[in-house]
Amino acid sequence: MASQINNAVYDELANTWWREDGFLQGLHALNPGRFAYFERLLSEQGIDPQKSRVLDIGCGGGYASERMARLGMQVVAVDPSRPSLEAAAEHAKLEGLAIDYRYGTGESLPVEDASFDVGFCCDVLEHVDDVQQVINEIYRALKPGGMFFFDTINRSALSWLLFIKVAQDIPFTRSMPRDTHVWHMFIKPEELDAYLLKAGFAPQEMTGFAPSFSPSALVNATLSRMKGESPKKSASVVTMGQSSIRAGLYMGWAQR
């Protein structure tokens, strides 16, 4: 019997989103490469952040929301975890950022039709039960011509090894609680393409999102985790960025 995903982990660990030693801080390793890619696309498409309204679907503690708010975007952010929303709102207030955080799910977004220039959905699609409905809702929320940015995890042998066995199952390499991810919920690129097309999107690009590190850096990261050091410290030796390899993480965009 397949494992059931434990999305409650984001309620249980919500107080660690912005803590230096918190489990969820490890997600920061993904952000520089992810944002560099998406911000380059915004520039190439002539999108003026100062005149754009963006929807962050599955915002968690607000990492992407804050990044986009700092660019000058008007941000509405939605998440089904009330504790995560509370942590996000508290941190945004401390940073002096005006972000409209709303409780809701990807399957039923609490937003108006055709009201956003950009949609942002990262670390989310592999956690939902009805991917097609989430994609449909994002399409509904975007203006004609709007850009939809995403990243997710491919369902492959490599992702099973890295994100299930190494990251969750093996005690001395474990970096996240069991069932934070389940392999059968990962999404192949061709499957995501089909979801996008069915919703009405025009897929534009899907590219790999992979780490760049030396063998010694990988050893140091593993030893750091074994010694119980903070996820942020152990992840800091890894630089994520665009890659030709899509067997693990991949990212891309589509147009409404």
By the 10 Å C-beta count (0-12 exposed, 13-18 middle, 19+ buried), 34 is classed as buried
> H-type helices in the chain, by residue range?
9-12, 31-44, 63-70, 82-95, 131-141, 157-159, 189-199, 215-226, 231-235
| Amino acid at residue number 18 | W
More confidently predicted of 26 and 28: 28
Q: What is the pLDDT of residues 196-216, one digit of tens each?
A: 999 999 999 999 988 765 555
Residues 6+ apart with CB under 8 A from 168: 174, 176, 177, 178, 179, 180, 181
pLDDT band with cut points at 50, 70 and 90 for residue 182: very high
Q: How far, in Å, CA of 14 to CA of 31, rounded? A: 18
pTM: 0.87
Q: What is the pLDDT of residues 104-117, one digit of tens each?
A: 999 999 999 999 99
Cβ atoms of 255 and 150 closer than 8 Å: no
Q: How far, in Å, CA of 80 to CA of 58, rounded? A: 7
Instruction: Please give the angle made by the CA atoms of 240, 34 and 138, to the nearest 5 degrees.
Output: 145
pLDDT, residue 220, reads: 65
pLDDT, residue 238, reads: 60
Cβ atoms of 2 and 184 closer than 8 Å: yes
Q: How far, in Å, CA of 23 to CA of 11, rounded? A: 13
Terminal C-alpha separation, the chain: 38
Cα torsion angle, 7, 195, 159, 233, sign? negative
pLDDT band with cut points at 50, 70 and 90 for residue 2: low
What is the CATH number that goes with domain 9-255? 3.40.50.150
Q: What is the pLDDT of residues 229-254, one digit of tens each?
A: 655 555 545 677 788 889 999 999 99
Does position 143 have pLDDT exceeding 80, yes or no? yes
Q: Which residues are bridge partners to 149 per DSSP?
A: 120, 253
pLDDT, residue 36, reads: 93
Three-state SS across 90-132? HHHHHHCCCEEEEECECCECCCCCCCEEEEEEECCHHHCCCHH
